[in-house]
Amino acid sequence: MVYILSQSYKRKYWVVFERTNKLHWWNKLINEYQHCYLLTEILGGIIKINPTLGGIVLEEYCCNITTLLDNLEYLDIIEVNVYDRNLTVPKFRGIKTCVSIIKDFLGINDLFVITPYQLRRKLNGKRI
């Protein structure tokens, strides 16, 4: 089966920000938001794209997004629509953190967004 993407193609992501008990290098900078991951709807279910130190963990949920969000513990969540014209090749290839991987999915090429707190401010349209 071949899917042809039109100019109006978009994917909806939910960027979830949370606290973790893991030690990260940016904990000394920003204590409020320590980790972030993505949720997206695919084929009637939800896929969780969770960047970790060992790679990307994909988890599948067979429920709708509101049911899943009611059961998750998170600090903040931002809904983002990504259109095919926004997707670009990342300009910076370096250390891959949860933020840099999410920026790749969302098509954000801002070198100065390196912490979950800065990513949250960027998605909310505030100065970093």
Averaged pLDDT for residues 99-128: 85
Averaged pLDDT for residues 91-110: 82
In the block, residue with structure tokens 């990260």 = 24
- For residue 38, pLDDT over 90 is answered with yes
Give residue-wise pLDDT tens across range 8-34. 567 889 999 987 666 656 556 655 778
This prediction's pTM: 0.77
Q: Which two tokens stand for residue 19?
A: 């606290």
Least-confidence region, from 15-19, 24-28, 67-71, 76-80 = 24-28
Averaged pLDDT for residues 80-93: 70
Q: Which two tokens stand for residue 33?
A: 């938001």
Helix (H, G, I), strand (E, B) or coil at 67: helix
The domain ranges of the chain are 10-123
Residues 6+ apart with CB under 8 A from 7: 84, 85
Give the pLDDT score at 1: 44
Mean pLDDT score across all residues of the chain: 78
Q: How far apart are the first and last CA of the chain?
A: 43
Averaged pLDDT for residues 74-85: 82
